Amino acid sequence: MRIVAGKYRGRTLKEFAGKDIRPTADRVKESVFQILTPYFQGARVLDLFSGSGALGIESLSRGAKEAVFNDVSKESLKVCRANLERVGERAAVYNLDYNNCLKSLAGKFRLIFLDPPYRMECLGEILSLIAERGLLEEDGLVVFEGEREEAPPTGWEIADERRYGRTRVYFFRPVQGESR
């Protein structure tokens, strides 16, 4: 696993041992981050299911001013902290379930990355919490990775959708004119 572009381009990140973890493939990450290029400069980013921290660190490499990391796994957060250290970044790192994390955060994010375990069905609940708490900037996006076809919950629309083999990536935004 490596940083694809930006100031940390080419740096290798620490990976997980074992087969239970499913990090975003480099080719998927590279494609998704190309689409998101206009969003990074000066952005505040949330990596809600951070795992190794690769998505948030890639965002920092490409110009995000702040990344917030969260994962329920302490083991994942050890890897995430080690990777932040490898690139010399400091960041807020939380060890909470996604629900408590979203309820405790303050401020707005331009990008919110959701890469939960594929069998976890939490998209609707998460998007509701994001809207309820006003966590997304007006022109921000929620980037969701999964295997299943997803329909946008009420109040949200799909700004873009990509398929990479079995992996699907959705770019959600609030429906224009909906209150947040």
Span 73-99, pLDDT tens digits? 999 999 999 999 999 999 999 999 999
CA angle at residue 140 from 94 to 90, to 5 degrees? 35
pLDDT at 19: 46
Give the CATH number of domain 26-174: 3.40.50.150
- The DSSP annotation for 85-123 comes to HHHT---EEE---HHHHHHH--S-EEEEEE---TT---H
pTM of the model: 0.92
Least confident of 26-30, 36-40, 148-152, 162-166: 26-30
Mean pLDDT of 133-161: 94
Question: Closest Cα partner for 169 from 146, 139, 142?
Answer: 146
pLDDT at 178: 53
pLDDT at 29: 83
Share of the chain above pLDDT 90, in %: 75
Per-residue pLDDT band for 139 (boundaries 50, 70, 90) equals very high
